[in-house]
């Protein structure tokens, strides 16, 4: 190389006139490539000024070989084009359209013919293409006597946030794909003359649909004209896209990508007397083994408009910034206290919590320091449990005018849920009589709390409404070998207590002495009477549309929100007999009968 200078666009001088059309020379000889530099805050002026003259421009920039989820990387888009002079280069840069796309692609699984899953996480284009960083490079020509040729490197930097995909990553990699095009010059000239009301000179006229009437003697020499553009569909955008010239570019850039940390937040209630509506939030951060450097937790923010959040991490070892390494598991505690309010409706007892975490990965101290940013939100439940242990009540008892909104299942003195009877019974669900004959034995604390919330808006016959079920596994035995709980919620409809199968009564027909014994009549009047009497069935008031609602797996301290849909069939106070909670692992079940009261209003006339 004969020389290399890093300059701005204003410092360019006029170049030698090209033998061919400058626009054609620019489109034929330009080439776009892109890379992710290893230095986080890259100074292009310093990099190109201190670059080795024996190496190419791109080799002077050290590149990343792996990326991390939740980080923002600066992708450098480098366009190599021939030297055309300042004015002509500016004209060509104004016509450029540079777009960039990033996809997360799973690794190929051996034995599967289907292509690996892919998901697009970023799509964008360069906003200001007229102000790139310009590097002038003079290269020696291969042919003898031609001297040296000058090339211009235009560099743009585009920030790309590497969000986590919705799909499950399996050996993922991020694939960058960029494209560059030139808008047509004709479109630019037409835009410059917009509003003049005149067509551009030299453009061909459209077809005259009334050309055949030009020599009609009835028109007395008048030649009518109707342009085809007045009746035809005009699509200038499509024509403009067809006229765009696509420049050569690097097909794709593929880099491995890994998660640095997995986060989870759990909630627990302080065991105080009297019960409090405050919540203890446990923010867990689990660092993966995909990196071999330190990670600094810079900042953690928990904000909610429905209360105040106080940090319980006052120890010196938990102060931020906190240095962590791979395989670390850190838990932060926060006390969430709701605002004092008079409204005690179910909607007023819920809130939203926003969590934001920022960290930096010290890949190379002071040089390569990727910055991570994680943010999400979750739901808070400030409802105070009426009877958290579901055991014997205290001496004062439960003093409440209405039914409790939620109860816990199981305690140290709770009743043992019964195993479901055999499926050979007439009903698919066990009979309600089996639940009434449960026995009391000492069993471990199940610690499952369920909260049912009904709709607040009016319900009319034929409407479909939902119950929101908030399930919390309050079990504290984390070291036990018991697997996470998997539950099923089944609505048991209301049935009559005497709703049993029809049994044919014995015939009471008498026979005279001496007559031969004959079989009973096929249609005995007593049988008909019994069948008619037992055929009376109460019509249901409510139909559950969620036949089998699954919840779980629920680890200790985890929560889950589910919905059960119902269809109201008649007006009045309606409901179901119970909500049966079935443990899918042990097939044990328990019935919850304290449910929200649903009132169906009369339909408007």
Beta bridge mates, 356: 301, 375
Question: Is 320 in the same domain as 237?
Answer: no
Q: Which distant-in-sequence residues (6+ apart) come within 8 Å of 104 by Cβ? A: 118, 119, 121, 165, 167, 169, 172, 173, 174, 175, 257
Going through 339-463 in order, the beta strands assigned E by DSSP cover 350-362, 371-381, 406-409, 418-419, 448-453
Q: Which distant-in-sequence residues (6+ apart) come within 8 Å of 171 by Cβ? A: 106, 107
Question: Is 231 in the same domain as 327?
Answer: no
How high is the mean pLDDT of the chain? 75
- CATH number of the domain where residue 337 is located: 2.60.40.1230
Residue 590 structural domain: 406-506+523-600
CA distances from 125 to 73, 128, 159, 239 (A): 15, 9, 11, 21
pLDDT-wise least confident of 117-131, 183-197, 294-308? 183-197
Instruction: Note whether 442 and 419 are within 8 A (CB).
Output: no
Total count of domains within the chain? 4
Average pLDDT for residues 436-449, to the nearest whole number? 45
**Would 388 be classed as within a structural domain?**
no
Task: Retrieve residue 541's tokens.
Answer: 């008031």
Beta strand pairing call for 66-68 and 253-258: parallel
Average pLDDT for residues 326-349, to the nearest whole number? 80
For the chain, the straight-line distance linking the first and the last C-alpha, in angstroms and rounded, comes to 90
For residues 477 and 481, give the distance between their C-alpha atoms in angstroms, rounded to a whole number: 9
Q: Is the pLDDT of residue 154 over 60?
A: yes
Residue-wise pLDDT tens digits, 365-415: 888 999 999 999 999 888 876 555 444 443 333 333 344 444 444 433 333
**Would 198 be classed as within a structural domain?**
no
Residue-wise pLDDT tens digits, 243-293: 677 889 999 999 999 999 999 999 988 877 777 888 999 999 999 999 889
For residues 117 and 167, give the distance between their C-alpha atoms in angstroms, rounded to a whole number: 8
Question: Is 49 in the same domain as 158?
Answer: yes
DSSP code for 371: E
Going through 426-484 in order, the beta strands assigned E by DSSP cover 448-453, 464-473
Average pLDDT for residues 211-224, to the nearest whole number? 86
Instruction: Note whether 120 and 175 are within 8 A (CB).
Output: no
Residue-wise pLDDT tens digits, 541-560: 778 887 778 887 877 777 88
Question: Is 478 in the same domain as 562?
Answer: yes
Q: Is the pLDDT of residue 589 over 70?
A: yes
Question: Is 232 in the same domain as 272?
Answer: no
For residues 110 and 45, give the distance between their C-alpha atoms in angstroms, rounded to a whole number: 46
Question: Is 85 in the same domain as 99?
Answer: yes
Does pTM surpass 0.85?
Answer: no
Question: Is 330 in the same domain as 377?
Answer: yes
- CATH number of the domain where residue 527 is located: 2.60.40.10
**Would 304 be classed as within a structural domain?**
yes
DSSP for 196-208, written as a single string: S-SPPTTPPPPPB
Q: Is the pLDDT of residue 534 over 50?
A: yes
pLDDT-wise least confident of 143-147, 440-444, 594-598? 440-444
Residue 83 C-alpha from the chain's centroid: 47
Question: Is 125 in the same domain as 137?
Answer: yes
**Would 225 be classed as within a structural domain?**
yes
**Would 394 be classed as within a structural domain?**
no
Average pLDDT for residues 299-316, to the nearest whole number? 91
Q: Is the pLDDT of residue 71 over 90?
A: yes
Q: What is the pLDDT of residue 415?
A: 36
Q: What is the pLDDT of residue 400?
A: 39
What share of the chain has pLDDT > 90, as a percent?
24
Instruction: Note whether 1 and 48 are within 8 A (CB).
Output: no
Residue 443 C-alpha from the chain's centroid: 40
Question: Is 364 in the same domain as 469?
Answer: no
Question: Is 157 in the same domain as 11?
Answer: yes
Q: What is the pLDDT of residue 200?
A: 64
For residues 487 and 475, give the distance between their C-alpha atoms in angstroms, rounded to a whole number: 15
**Would 313 be classed as within a structural domain?**
yes
**Would 393 be classed as within a structural domain?**
no
**Would 267 be classed as within a structural domain?**
yes
Q: What is the pLDDT of residue 511?
A: 58
Q: CA angle, corner 152, sides to 149 and 158, nearest 5?
A: 160
Question: Is 293 in the same domain as 415?
Answer: no
Instruction: Note whether 358 and 370 are within 8 A (CB).
Output: no
Place of tokens 């960290």: 359
Question: Is 333 in the same domain as 371?
Answer: yes
């Amino acid at each position: 190389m004969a020389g290399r200078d890093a300059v701005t666009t204003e410092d360019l001088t006029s170049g030698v006139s090209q033998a061919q059309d400058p626009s054609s020379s620019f489109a034929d000889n330009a080439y776009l490539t892109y890379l992710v530099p290893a230095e986080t805050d890259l100074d292009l002026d310093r990099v190109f000024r201190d670059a080795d003259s024996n190496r190419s421009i791109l080799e002077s920039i050290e590149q990343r070989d792996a990326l991390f989820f939740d980080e923002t990387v600066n992708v450098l888009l480098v366009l190599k084009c021939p030297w055309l002079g300042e004015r002509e280069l500016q004209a060509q840069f104004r016509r450029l359209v540079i777009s960039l796309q990033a996809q997360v692609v799973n690794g190929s699984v051996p034995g599967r013919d289907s292509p690996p899953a892919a998901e697009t996480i970023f799509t964008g284009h360069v906003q200001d293409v007229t102000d790139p960083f310009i590097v002038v490079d003079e290269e020696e020509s291969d042919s003898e006597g031609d001297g040296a040729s000058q090339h211009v490197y235009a560099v743009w930097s585009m920030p790309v946030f590497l969000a986590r995909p919705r799909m499950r990553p399996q050996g993922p990699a991020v694939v960058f794909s960029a494209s560059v095009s030139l808008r047509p010059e004709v479109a630019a000239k037409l835009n410059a003359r917009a509003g003049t009301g005149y067509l551009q000179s030299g453009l061909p006229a459209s077809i005259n649909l009334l050309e055949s009437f030009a020599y009609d003697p009835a028109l007395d020499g008048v030649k009518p004209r109707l342009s085809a553009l007045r009746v035809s569909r005009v699509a200038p955008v499509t024509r403009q896209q067809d006229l765009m010239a696509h420049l050569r570019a690097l097909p794709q850039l593929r880099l491995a990508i890994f998660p640095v940390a997995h986060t989870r937040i759990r909630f627990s209630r302080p065991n105080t007397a009297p019960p409090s509506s405050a919540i203890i939030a446990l923010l867990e951060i689990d660092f993966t083994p995909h990196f071999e450097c330190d990670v600094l937790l810079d900042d953690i923010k928990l904000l909610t408009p429905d209360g105040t959040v106080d940090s319980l991490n006052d120890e010196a070892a938990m102060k931020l910034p906190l240095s962590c390494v791979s395989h670390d598991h850190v838990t932060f505690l926060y006390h969430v206290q709701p605002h004092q309010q008079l409204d005690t409706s179910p909607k007023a007892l819920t809130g939203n919590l926003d969590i934001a975490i920022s960290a930096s990965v010290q890949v190379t101290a002071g040089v390569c320091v990727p910055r991570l940013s994680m943010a999400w939100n979750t739901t808070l439940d400030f409802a105070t449990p009426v009877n958290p242990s579901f055991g014997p009540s205290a001496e004062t008892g439960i003093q409440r005018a209405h039914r409790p909104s939620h109860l816990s299942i199981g305690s140290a003195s709770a009743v043992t849920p019964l195993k479901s009877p055999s499926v050979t019974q007439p009903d698919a669900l066990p009979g309600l009589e089996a639940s009434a004959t449960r026995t009391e034995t000492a069993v471990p604390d199940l610690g499952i709390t369920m909260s049912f919330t009904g709709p607040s808006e009016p319900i009319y016959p034929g409407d479909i409404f939902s119950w929101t079920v908030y399930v919390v596994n309050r079990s504290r035995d984390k070291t036990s070998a018991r697997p996470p709980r998997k539950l099923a919620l089944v609505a048991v409809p209301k049935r009559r207590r005497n709703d049993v199968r029809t049994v044919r009564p014995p015939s009471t027909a008498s026979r005279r002495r001496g007559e031969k014994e004959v079989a009973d009549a096929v249609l005995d009047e007593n049988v008909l009477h019994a069948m008619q009497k037992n055929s009376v069935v109460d019509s249901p008031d409510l139909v559950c549309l969620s036949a089998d609602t699954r919840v779980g797996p629920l680890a200790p301290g985890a929560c889950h929100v589910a919905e059960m849909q119902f269809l109201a069939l008649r007006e009045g106070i309606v409901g179901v007999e119970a909500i049966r909670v079935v443990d899918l692992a042990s097939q044990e079940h328990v019935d919850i009968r304290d449910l929200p009261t649903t009132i169906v209003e009369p339909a408007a006339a």
